[in-house]
Amino acid sequence: MDPESFLSIGAFCFVLGAVFSLVPFRKGKSLLYLLPALAALNFAAAGLYLAFGEPANILSFPISSVFGFLFCGDALSGFFIIAISVLTFSVSLYSIGYTSSMKHQGLMGFLFNLFILSMIAVVTSGNIVTFLISWETMSVVSYFLVTIDRDKESAKAGLLYAVMTHIGTAFIIVSFLLLYAYSGSADFAGIRASAAGFPLEIKSLVFLFAVIGFGTKAGVIPLHTWLPKAHPAAPSNISSLMSGVMIKTGIYGIVRIAVDVLGKGPEWWGIAVLVVGAVSSILGVLYALMEHDIKRLLAYHSVENIGIILLGIGASMMFRSGGLYNLAAVALIAGLYHTLNHAVFKGLLFLGAGSVMHATHTKNMDDMGGLMKAMPYTGLFFLVGSVSICALPPFNGFVSEWLTFQSLLLGFSSASVTSKIVSPLGGAALALTGALAAACFVKAFGISFLGMARSGHAEKAKESSGSMIAGMAVLAVLCLVLGVLPGVVTSILSPAVYSLTGAVGPTSAMSFLHIDETAASLSPAMILITMAVMSAATLAFVFVAGGRRKLSYGDSWDCGIPALNARMQYSAAAFTKPIRMIFKRIYLPRRELRVSYILKPFFVRSIKYSGEITPFFEKFLYEPATDVIQKIAGKVRLLQSGSLHLYLGYILITLVLLLIFGS
Amino acid sequence: MKNWIEAFSVIDFISVGILLTAVAMNAFRRLESCVRTYTVNSWLLSSLIAIVAFMIGETHLYIAAALTLVTKGILLPVFLRRIVKQMKVTHDVEPYINNALSLTISGILVAVVYASLSVGIFVSGFSKNVLQISIAVILIGLFIMITRRKAITQVIGLLFMENGLFLAGFSLTFGMPTIIELGVLFDMLMGVIILGIFAIQIKRVFTSSDLDKLTILKG
């Protein structure tokens, strides 16, 4: 079989799934999600073919001599197809259980299939027009998915999402039109061939517009505002796809335009991407720490992880312009590897959050607690996801962040002074981000799953259905596999990276990575074995040296208070208080304490505490901007008074002026 | 006969008549007078076409003249008069600005048109004044629409504009093909009927035919 037939079978499955979803029946409808799962397997196979094989034309459908539909794939598309299909497969399994009690089941299934198909179309588009049409289809379909619940919150989030994504698309269109104007070709291949001859300022303009446009979709700060609103509003299987792979199409766009099509650029391109990445990663995780809504927390972590991915890609661009091709390859592998990893673990975490919300009917972590006992599998998988996102071995986040660190620290060997300064700073940002992420997931996991139930809903929580657990299990196993066998991923990536940077990057075997420049090596399998041996040894030591003791079970020590209750637990706000204090310059926290007394100052009737942080970008960037626009709009509105006579007057004045000045 | 027409420059006289009826619209206070003025305007237009047809011997211009007379000279005025009767209340025009000022502005409009169209490629054809007059009639029609409150006066203003447009097209091309003339006339007939129904509806809903009340429709 060749990639084309895999792709057509896959696409056929999606279309079938979409059409059948619209057939009005309810019983067993959620089983239709087996179709996208099947399609995902086909696409994964096609993606593997593309990742290792020659660039292939999949489908071309010319409309005129200049424009037409063109779908083609190369190694880079292949890699993104793999990332999309891996997540699609598990999310489809998960959706069988998750959507079975949903209200708009048919519409959901239809949009679900269309959404994934449009993402595949984006990463396989071969020319400008096809890309833009696929891109807009993806945006519109995801807008409908965000607003599928049709309540006020999701309508508001959807509107913000639609506005932001269209601003982004406007920038992308400008950048594409510039490319078209200067190359005379609408195909990416044709543009790539003539890009070397463009004037530098034009290239830089294209680069800037592309980064802003695609950055809006990827959710880089300060263009991230839609992300923490739209992702929580969508149903969890959709937020998993949006956060896992849809925002990655923004990364794909940046790599495709800034690295692939435009080729080697000046150093400041890479530095710009690097700085954006560093800012996004630190601020993303800082805002995530302050969230008590589990899905918003995860959404802010997506901002953070996009930042980490951009650190790798920016470093790669910087090294490439400095002529350090092997380092550029290492950094690009790091960025793309993290793209795949983030798709897997963030997909897993959103699915976990979805299960928790399904069971407890709340998004607020302060209403959860003690879920580990009620939902052991979900808890375990959420823990795996949390450990992966905190970049702890032996899971996958560790490998990609290790690679990013290596490439950033190697920036010292660069000839340019700027990159000598910038890359260690990027490394420092990554280190801070990692530590804060760990703190954040201790909070997310600890507050939601450990301790005592904080609400009646949490007490009554039940484990999710089999298919939901299966969907999460696939991703949890992948977290481990991608973490232990990095050689598999780097070998999938190396053709793409070789074609983009002209170097292979780290030498690798199944579970072994080696970077020549630093002589740094990593073997996650060895780490896993060491961890297993060490824990076994410790247990054995305790068992042997400690001897046999009688175990007795009792309640936690409660300082003599008669009964422990859930309100005595650490709350999410309390846990992050130290961080809120350290970073108060960034958070600008406001808090309000209202105490009413029976007899001042000793007898208190009630204490009401409320605290919030200032959303910096919303307040100082978006609000002034919308204010200005509204003011102008208000002025312009005076013209439209509603008076018919005034409108006719405009026509008369225009006519008379035309008569006077036109003749 | 032809010499006689040329000697007394009958064409120019009729054109000026069309312009004067349009200007006179500004001076009338009663809706009935406005409808009557429009009728006179249409008859003048029709006779102008007929005379030009006689001068250059085009048969299809006779048809245009007859059609104009039937629709604009007879059908529309009858219909307008019926609307005015159905409106019942005041038959006053209720302009925004007083008649003197409105006449002055009409005069200025005519002057502007004459000043700006006195040179250029359009000054040709059977009478170099007809184009200027037609444009002036269009502007005056528009001006009437702007300064009158009642919905029915809007319709009359529109009809004046249409007459002006017809005259302009006629002066440049010696009449469009009959089928187009037919289409335009039929369109206008329908348009005025619909507008008349609207005017009555507006009157019914807002208990006034004052278009100022429509501003409350704005969101």
From chain A, the residues in CB contact with B113 under 8 A are 659
Report the DSSP beta bridge partners of residue A515: A520
Q: What share of chain A is helix, strand, coil (3-state, %, to 5)?
A: 70, 5, 20
Give me the sign of the Cα torsion angle A54, A55, A59, A64: negative
pLDDT above 60 for A253: yes
pLDDT above 90 for A172: yes
Angle of helix B10-24 relative to helix B151-173, nearest 10 degrees, comes to: 160
* Confidence at B12, pLDDT banded by 50, 70, 90: confident
**Rounded to whole angstroms, how far apart are CA atoms A131 and A137?**
10
> pLDDT digits over B20-66, tens only?
999 998 888 888 888 999 999 999 999 988 888 888 787 888 888 89
Chain A residue with CA closest to B121: the answer is A663
Is A639 an 8 Å CB contact of chain B? Answer: no
**Rounded to whole angstroms, how far apart are CA atoms B51 and B62?**
9
Chain B residue with CA closest to A655: the answer is B139
pLDDT above 60 for B125: no
Task: Number of helices (H) and strands (E) in chain A: give both, helices first.
Answer: 28, 7
> pLDDT digits over B78-113, tens only?
988 888 887 766 667 677 788 888 899 999 999 988
Is A648 an 8 Å CB contact of chain B? Answer: yes
From chain A, the residues in CB contact with B147 under 8 A are 645
Rg (CA), chain A: 27
From chain A, the residues in CB contact with B135 under 8 A are 659
Tokens standing for residue A654: 């225009």
**Rounded to whole angstroms, how far apart are CA atoms A639 and A656?**
19
Residue with tokens 């979900």: A378
Residues A163-176 as b or e (16 or more Cβ within 10 Å = b) = ebbeebbebbbbbb
Q: What is the mean pLDDT of chain A?
A: 88
Give me the sign of the Cα torsion angle B146, B150, B151, B155: negative
User: Which of A306, A271, A590 has the alpha carbon at shortest distance from A433?
Assistant: A306
**DSSP character at residue A504:** -
Is A660 an 8 Å CB contact of chain B? Answer: yes
> pLDDT digits over A508-538, tens only?
777 788 887 777 888 888 888 999 999 999 9
Q: Sort strands A603-612 and A520-522 into parallel, antiparallel or unpaired.
A: unpaired
Which one of A640, A641, A644 would you mutate to disrupt binding with B, by most B Cβ within 10 Å of its Cβ? A644
Residue among B116, B146, B214 whose CB faces A652 most closely: B146
Is A651 an 8 Å CB contact of chain B? Answer: yes
pLDDT above 70 for B132: yes
> pLDDT digits over A24-34, tens only?
877 777 888 88
A630/chain B closest Cα distance in angstroms: 16
Strands (E), A431-479: none
How many Cβ atoms from other residues are within 10 Å of residue A598's Cβ?
9
From chain A, the residues in CB contact with B146 under 8 A are 645, 648-649, 652
Q: Which of A133-147, A386-400, A525-539, A632-646 has the lowest mean pLDDT?
A: A632-646
Phi, psi of A104 (to 5 degrees): -100, 65
Phi, psi of A612 (to 5 degrees): -150, 160
- What pLDDT, on the 0 to 100 scale, is given for residue B89? 60
Contact B211 A644 (CB under 8 A): yes
Ramachandran category for residue A547: left, alpha or beta (phi over 0 → left; psi -120 to 50 → alpha) = left
B133/chain A closest Cα distance in angstroms: 14
How many Cβ atoms from other residues are within 10 Å of residue A50's Cβ?
30
**DSSP character at residue A503:** S
B189/chain A closest Cα distance in angstroms: 22
From chain B, the residues in CB contact with A652 under 8 A are 139, 142-143, 146
From chain A, the residues in CB contact with B138 under 8 A are 655
Count CB pairs under 8 A between chains A and B. 49
**Rounded to whole angstroms, how far apart are CA atoms A381 and A302?**
18
Q: Are A263 and A196 in contact (CB under 8 A)?
A: yes
Query: DSSP H helical segments within A557-613, as ranges?
Result: 572-575, 577-582, 584-587
Contact B218 A649 (CB under 8 A): no
Contact B96 A641 (CB under 8 A): no
**Rounded to whole angstroms, how far apart are CA atoms A365 and A557?**
25
Q: Which of A192-201, A268-277, A350-359, A626-635 has the lowest mean pLDDT?
A: A192-201
For residue A182, CA distances in Å to A127, A202, A209, A228, A282 come to: 15, 9, 15, 38, 38
Contact B117 A642 (CB under 8 A): no
- What pLDDT, on the 0 to 100 scale, is given for residue A158? 92
Contact B113 A655 (CB under 8 A): no
Is A539 an 8 Å CB contact of chain B? Answer: no
From chain B, the residues in CB contact with A648 under 8 A are 142, 145-146
**Ranges of each domain in chain B:** 2-217
User: Which of A374, A560, A588 has the alpha carbon at shortest distance from A462?
Assistant: A374
> pLDDT digits over A73-96, tens only?
889 999 999 999 999 999 999 999
* Confidence at B219, pLDDT banded by 50, 70, 90: low
A152/chain B closest Cα distance in angstroms: 22
Cis omega (within 30 of 0) on the bond before A393?
no
B94/chain A closest Cα distance in angstroms: 13
**Rounded to whole angstroms, how far apart are CA atoms A374 and A459?**
8
SS3 state of residue A74: coil
- What pLDDT, on the 0 to 100 scale, is given for residue B198? 80
Residue among B142, B211, B217 whose CB faces A652 most closely: B142
Residues A601-616 as b or e (16 or more Cβ within 10 Å = b) = eeeeeeeeeeeebebe
Q: What is the mean pLDDT of residues A323-329?
A: 88
- What pLDDT, on the 0 to 100 scale, is given for residue B30? 84
Q: Are A306 and A228 in contact (CB under 8 A)?
A: no
* Confidence at A459, pLDDT banded by 50, 70, 90: confident
Chain A residue with CA closest to B118: the answer is A663
Phi, psi of B64 (to 5 degrees): -60, -45
**Rounded to whole angstroms, how far apart are CA atoms A319 and A410?**
10
Which one of B139, B140, B146 would you mutate to disrupt binding with A, by most A Cβ within 10 Å of its Cβ? B146
pLDDT above 70 for B155: yes
Q: CB-based contacts of B159: which residues, under 8 Å, 6+ apart?
A: B38, B72, B76, B141, B188, B192
**Rounded to whole angstroms, how far apart are CA atoms A330 and A363?**
39
Which one of B97, B108, B116 would you mutate to disrupt binding with A, by most A Cβ within 10 Å of its Cβ? B116
Residue among A642, A648, A652 whose CB faces B217 most closely: A642
From chain A, the residues in CB contact with B142 under 8 A are 648, 651-652, 655
pLDDT above 90 for A507: no
> pLDDT digits over A617-629, tens only?
888 889 999 999 9
* Confidence at B67, pLDDT banded by 50, 70, 90: confident
Is A658 an 8 Å CB contact of chain B? Answer: no
Length of chain A counted residue by residue:
663
From chain B, the residues in CB contact with A641 under 8 A are 215, 218
**Rounded to whole angstroms, how far apart are CA atoms A296 and A243?**
11
- What pLDDT, on the 0 to 100 scale, is given for residue A66? 67
Q: What is the mean pLDDT of residues B195-213?
A: 76
Cis omega (within 30 of 0) on the bond before A394?
yes
Contact B218 A655 (CB under 8 A): no
Residue among A645, A648, A660 whose CB faces B112 most closely: A660
- What pLDDT, on the 0 to 100 scale, is given for residue A287? 92
- What pLDDT, on the 0 to 100 scale, is given for residue A183? 87
From chain A, the residues in CB contact with B154 under 8 A are 644
Phi, psi of A133 (to 5 degrees): -65, -45
Terminal C-alpha separation, chain A: 71
Say if residue A354 is exposed, middle or buried (CB neighbours under 10 Å; 0-12, 13-18, 19+): buried
Ramachandran category for residue A263: left, alpha or beta (phi over 0 → left; psi -120 to 50 → alpha) = left
- What pLDDT, on the 0 to 100 scale, is given for residue B140? 92
* Confidence at B127, pLDDT banded by 50, 70, 90: low
Contact B218 A640 (CB under 8 A): yes
From chain A, the residues in CB contact with B117 under 8 A are 659, 663
**Rounded to whole angstroms, how far apart are CA atoms B106 and B118?**
18
B→A contacts (Cβ < 8 Å), by residue, are 96, 109, 112-113, 115-117, 119-120, 135, 138-139, 142-143, 145-147, 154, 211-212, 214-218
Length of chain B counted residue by residue:
219
pLDDT above 90 for A545: no
From chain A, the residues in CB contact with B123 under 8 A are none
Residue among A643, A648, A662 whose CB faces B212 most closely: A643
**Element spanning A592, H or E:** strand A590-599
SS3 state of residue A517: coil
User: Which of A99, A119, A78 has the alpha carbon at shortest distance from A34?
Assistant: A99
User: Which of B61, B94, B217, B48 has the alpha carbon at shortest distance from A641?
Assistant: B217
Report the DSSP beta bridge partners of residue A507: A514
For residue A551, CA distances in Å to A540, A543, A554 come to: 17, 13, 10
> pLDDT digits over A281-315, tens only?
999 999 999 888 999 999 999 999 999 999 999 99
**DSSP character at residue A621:** I
**Rounded to whole angstroms, how far apart are CA atoms A318 and A272?**
9
Is A641 an 8 Å CB contact of chain B? Answer: yes
Alpha carbon A327 to chain centroid, angstroms:
25
Residue among B96, B138, B215 whose CB faces A642 most closely: B215
> pLDDT digits over A567-577, tens only?
788 888 888 88
Contact B214 A643 (CB under 8 A): yes
ipTM: 0.83
pLDDT above 70 for A611: yes
DSSP states of A231-278 as a string?
HHHS-HHHHHHIIIIIHHHHHHHHIIIIIIIS-S--HHHHHHHHHHHH
Q: Are B71 and B188 in contact (CB under 8 A)?
A: yes
From chain B, the residues in CB contact with A644 under 8 A are 154, 211, 214
pLDDT above 70 for B119: no
Chain B residue with CA closest to A649: the answer is B146
CA dihedral B188, B167, B105, B107 (to 10 degrees): -150
Alpha carbon A81 to chain centroid, angstroms:
16
Q: What is the mean pLDDT of residues A14-39?
A: 85
**Rounded to whole angstroms, how far apart are CA atoms A522 and A84?**
27
From chain A, the residues in CB contact with B109 under 8 A are 656
Q: What is the mean pLDDT of chain B?
A: 82
Report the DSSP beta bridge partners of residue A621: none
**DSSP character at residue A222:** T
